[in-house]
Amino acid sequence: MTATNSLLHRTRVELPLQSRERLISLLNATLATALDFKTQIKQAHWNVAGPHFIALHEFFDTLADEAEAAVDLVAERVLQLGGTALGTAKIAAERSILGEYPHHAVDGKQHLEALAERMAIFANHLRAQIDESAKLGDQATADIYTELCRASDKSLWMLEAHLRTA
Ligand SMILES: [Fe+2]
């Protein structure tokens, strides 16, 4: 099957058109959420206050850098599969699976809890896409999702470790 009658770009990647269309849809959903999440992490980076300010300010920036790297990896996989990356702020706001960031958050605990909640949603979304991509016959996209899921689980552990009391 060729991409002649589809909105997809031509590519020599040997995956069926229907699979590529489904994979592109999954990846664009992830892209919207990752973009939204990056801005939410920056919100925490800027607004956190309290006795652990500098440690959390810097920690949150490393998480934002990781989200930015995820954005690029996912967007470019869309192109490799013949699709169009949908990565504007407007699309991210419409399609992200995350709720809006709590604007009232001030101290470290409030920001850590808000980010842990969102990191868990993001990590579990990524985990579900590993099997979805594999079922569609695309081990390379499954590998991207595996890499991102592993990194998000690690970040979630670090966020939760700050909140653990016992
Ligand atoms: Fe900064």
CATH 1.20.1260.10 fits 17-163, yes or no: yes
Distances (CA, A) of 68 to 32, 33, 51, 75, 161: 12, 11, 28, 11, 23
In three-state secondary structure terms, 56 is helix
Nearest to 148 by CA among 77, 87, 90: 77
Q: What is the pLDDT of residue 7?
A: 79
Q: What is the pLDDT of residue 166?
A: 77
Contact 49, 26 (CB under 8 A): no
Cα 114 to ligand 1 centre (Å):
19
Cα 149 to ligand 1 centre (Å):
25
Q: What is the pLDDT of residue 158?
A: 98
Cα 67 to ligand 1 centre (Å):
14
Digit-by-digit pLDDT tens for the chain (166 residues) are 443 446 799 999 999 999 999 999 999 999 999 999 999 999 999 999 999 999 999 999 999 999 999 999 999 999 999 999 999 999 999 999 999 999 999 999 999 999 999 999 999 999 999 999 999 999 999 999 999 999 999 999 999 999 999 7
In three-state secondary structure terms, 57 is helix
Cα 46 to ligand 1 centre (Å):
7
Q: What is the pLDDT of residue 3?
A: 38
